[in-house]
Amino acid sequence: MARVAIVTGGTRGIGRAICENLRDSGFTVAANYGGNDQKAQEFTAETGIKAYKWDVGDHEASLAGCAQVGEDLGPIDAVVNNAGITRDGTLHKMSYEDWHEVMRVNLGGCFNMAKACFPGMRERKWGRIVNIGSINGQAGQYGQVNYAAAKSGIHGFTKALAQEGAKFGVTVNAIAPGYIDTDMVAAVPEPVLEKIVAKIPVGRLGQASEIARAVGFFCSEEAGFVTGSTMSVNGGQHMY
């Protein structure tokens, strides 16, 4: 019987690439999404992967959503916390709502999804949790105190939960992507994008498929001895 994986923010961009990679690796995949029903319907039609709508920043909705996935597809063996939002601005101009919403979704979503799925993984003595952090959670970024704090928090969350899960066969790891060629990055003005690429040693943006392959490794049987790790996939832009 195929293992079941759920990917938050899974219908577009990096999330979609992760869903397709896990599907091709033999997982039965569910894609969570937060807003765009039309895109989700197109995603399901094109990939055959069922999409489920809820706000990962909502604790009760996450518990109910994961329960529904479990009922439809079977116990959840792997969770990829990919969903994230931005509300950029300098601290001077940032509202409390902009701070709170990014923390609620980006970091709170990791807690909510783990809370829903970690107990079952412990009981079954096998599980994979992969959290998508960011280069900006490692190095910081001007105008992103909320996003950088949330993503940095994800890296700490990963290391702490990894220690809880290790003896139960549950690994918890993180990916820290650099600048990836997605719709979000495509919206950056060309002169700004050129300056970003100029700072990437390999001389290009990353591809969503490159993040997906890293996630696929962490979710595999072969990665059973890897936990509490953060893999930087950023073309050499930030090393530490």
CATH number at residue 213: 3.40.50.720
What three-state secondary structure class fits 203? coil
Residue type, 119: P
Residue 80 within any structural domain of the chain: yes
Output the pLDDT for position 139.
84
Residue 238 within any structural domain of the chain: no
Residue 75 within any structural domain of the chain: yes
Please report how many Cα atoms fall inside a 13 Å half-sphere around the Cα of residue 12, on the Cβ side. 15
Output the pLDDT for position 140.
86
> Contact 131/172 with Cβ under 8 angstroms?
yes
Instruction: Please name the residues in contact with 166: beta carbons below 8 A apart, sequence gap of 6 or more.
Output: 227, 228
pTM comes to 0.95
Catalytic annotation present for 147: yes
Residue 49 within any structural domain of the chain: yes
How many domains is the chain partitioned into structurally? 1
DSSP character for 107? Answer: I
Can you give the residue range of the structural domain that contains 115? 4-233
Per-residue pLDDT reduced to its tens digit, 117-162:
999 999 999 999 999 999 888 888 888 899 999 999 999 999 999 9
Residue 106 within any structural domain of the chain: yes
Say yes or no to pLDDT of 86 above 90: no
Say yes or no to pLDDT of 91 above 80: yes
Which is catalytic among the residues 33, 52, 142, 147? 147
DSSP character for 106? Answer: I
Cross-strand partners of 132: 175
